[in-house]
A and B are shown apart, each in its own frame.
Chain A
Amino acid sequence: MNRLTKLFAEKRENILNIYFTAGYPKLDDLVEIGLALERSGVDILEIGIPYSDPLADGPTIQASSQQALKNGMNVRLLFTQVEDLRKHTEIPIILMGNFNQVMQYGENQFFRKCKEVGVDGVILPDMPTYVYEEQFKALFEELDLGITFLVAPQTELERLRKIDELTRGFVYVVSSAAITGGVGGVTDAQEAYFERITSYGWHHPTLIGFGIKDAQSFAKACKYANGAIIGSAFIRALADSQDLSETISDFVSEILPQDSP
């Protein structure tokens, strides 16, 4: 069974998904970061495929991508590292990237490779739903691979329906009209939006991301959704890290409610 499906069957609250960029801070840090996150109690690893020209990423993730590319990260190496990580853990792993990278690898080969190395789902924010539906839906079903689409404050009802229908795994609720790593925190207006969007009646769990950065914003997000995604704040912590394991353990224990494992 897909590890995401398994997770959601067992856990519906306070799900913590941590994003980090492959190849950052050092080229070969992926396995160590992934395992340290798992030890600290994180539920899902979301691994970013660094891209030269990301549109939805803020300065923090952009800078980490640039550094990762400079370090020599590429899609093939990333698959090798994920395969290695998978030997040591059963935590759900998803990849986040830009459609162009998938296209250049060859879309079908890319998705098959995901399955082969133990990736459980993908997020490709700029892949149109019509492209997924017409070209890849059948393959995802065959591979039992997850696909996550984003919803945003202006997403209309009819569109939510479409996204719910196509999703495999979880729905990514973008916390505000912003690129990643925006002002941070959660305002009252955002809470109203969380309320509206999460009460839609989804067939899938929802995770809130963009601007979630600490225990407080994580708790607020978890009030409405099944969990949240933290990216930029974690990347910032990695940037200043002397000791990855220690940094990661400190970072995650700051976020998670005390009674969580």
Chain B
Amino acid sequence: MTPNKNGYYGKFGGAYIPEMLYPNVKYLKENYLKIIQSDSFQKEFKSLLKDYVGRPSPLYFAERLSKKYDTNIYLKREDLNHTGAHKINNTIGQILLAQELGKKRIIAETGAGQHGVATATVCALMGLECIVYMGEVDIERQAPNVSRMKMLGAEVRPAKSGSRTLKDATNEAIRDWIAHPVDTHYIIGSVVGPHPYPDMVALFQSVISEEMKWQLKEHVGRETPDSIIACVGGGSNAAGAFYHYLKDDKVRLIAVEAAGLGINTGESAATSVLGSEGVIHGSRTLLMQTDDGQIIEPYSISAGLDYPGIGPLHAHLIKTGRAEVLSATDDEALQAGYLLSKIEGIIPALESAHALAALEMMRFAKDEIVVVNLSGRGDKDLATYIKHQNRFE
């Protein structure tokens, strides 16, 4: 699904940016497709995804999990990518683009630290300066990733305003870009931000569903599953997992948001339920805000889902009914994380655990084919899992 010329999916999207960013964004908008679709770009992108990231990521039939839910569950193993999440699909694409644009300095925002690590990694690979903005709260709860970024040569700058999480890190990154428009490329970590970022990031992540098609064909003899489940922070792993099935209405698309302590507790990040139309980070979309238009600080145990907005593509898919939304609380996600660890030997990222938690809320037919996008691995979340473990035994 491609946005219109101003970057709208239905009424969501666009580029609501101060003039200082206009030349950069305009250049990107006019050139991203041409660059990305060129043979030389595709060749390099594919070869790095294969030899450096380790793609294709397996599509794994989770037999014991399937038995528990009495259906057929396949896990798309983005957790097995280099650096441990889907985020690197996007950063590989964007670093090649940055090189094409002649940029010398890379900035990024990060929540869980996965996008920060993936950005630091490709900067190390290409020898580019890297600065990652990260909320102070997230620096604390995702400490292993902070150390990784530093070891990879990136500078991690704490965002100290607001809720000191992903939203604030994104504000700081945009402010940095405003102050360095000439030499700097901003690698946004999700399908958010001004057009063309949502489309660009979705294109880079679309490799997930591109692989799913032939992998399903191998496993079950057809390219289409009945349902695809993915967690949504900004929505990049979901966009990638849905991408090649968006036009096939027979495939159920299920986006899982973080309910935090519960949707109506005031401590939640379930944007599509709690949000309304507005503008955040350069894009017209759904966001959590007051009547006065002030952005409400979200909450989730998962740093990668702790965001008050949602990508404009998802706002459109949800409002038009193409995608369904569920939400999982902190505890439901933790529970799903412990379960997958115990019965499949896979410790999922807390973000991905939200997608797994949806299995508990849905009913499936015995012969249904369900794909859960396992967006990342749980190494970074061990401290959180350990802290809460005794409540679940």
Contact = CB atoms under 8 A, between A and B. Distances in A.
B19 A179 contact: no
Contact of A154 (B16, B23, B179, B292): B23
A87 interface: no
A58 B281 CA distance: 16
Interface string A51-74: 111011010001000100100001
Interface string A147-169: 00111101110010000000000
Interface in B261-313: 276-282, 289, 291-295
Contact of B19 (A58, A98, A150): A150
A126 B174 CA distance: 12
A53 B182 CA distance: 24
B350 to A, nearest CB: 25
B87 interface: no
Contact of A101 (B178, B182, B292): B292
Contacts, number: 108
B76 interface: no
Contact of A74 (B18, B276, B292): B292
B305 to A, nearest CB: 18
A156 B23 contact: yes
A128 B16 contact: yes
A155 B279 contact: no
Nearest to A130: B6
A141 B171 CA distance: 34
B281 to A, nearest CB: 8
B98 interface: no
Nearest to B16: A126
A103 B14 contact: no
A99 B295 contact: no
A174 B19 contact: yes
B291 A155 contact: no
Task: With a 10 A CB-CB cut-off, give which of A55, A174, A178 has the most chain B CB atoms.
Answer: A55
A128 B6 CA distance: 10
A53 B175 contact: no
Report the interface size class on chain B: 35 or more
Contacts of B15: 128
B23 A53 contact: no
A44 B347 CA distance: 60
A189 interface: no
Contact of B181 (A55, A69, A151, A154): A154
B182 A100 contact: no
Interface in A64-94: 66, 69, 74-76
A84 to B, nearest CB: 19
A103 B15 CA distance: 15
Nearest to B281: A55
Given A56-B18, A56-B178, A154-B23, A126 B295 contact: no
Contacts of A41: none
Interface string A165-202: 00000000010011100100000000000000000000
B47 interface: no
Contacts of B162: 52-53
Task: With a 10 A CB-CB cut-off, give which of B14, B16, B181 has the most chain A CB atoms.
Answer: B16
30 contacts: A53-B294, A55-B281, A56-B18, A56-B175, A56-B178, A69-B294, A76-B292, A98-B293, A100-B279, A100-B295, A104-B292, A104-B293, A126-B16, A126-B17, A126-B18, A128-B14, A150-B18, A152-B19, A152-B22, A154-B22, A154-B181, A154-B182, A155-B22, A159-B22, A174-B19, A177-B179, A177-B180, A179-B175, A179-B178, A179-B179
Interface of B: 6, 14-20, 22-24, 161-162, 167, 171, 174-175, 178-182, 276-282, 289, 291-295
Interface of A: 51-53, 55-56, 58, 62, 66, 69, 74-76, 98-105, 125-128, 130-131, 149-152, 154-156, 159, 174, 177-179, 182
Given A99-B16, A128-B14, A177-B20, 13 more contacts: A51-B293, A51-B294, A52-B162, A53-B167, A56-B175, A62-B161, A100-B279, A105-B293, A127-B16, A150-B18, A152-B19, A154-B182, A177-B181
Nearest 8 A/B pairs, CB to CB: A104-B293, A150-B19, A101-B293, A52-B294, A125-B18, A154-B23, A100-B279, A152-B20
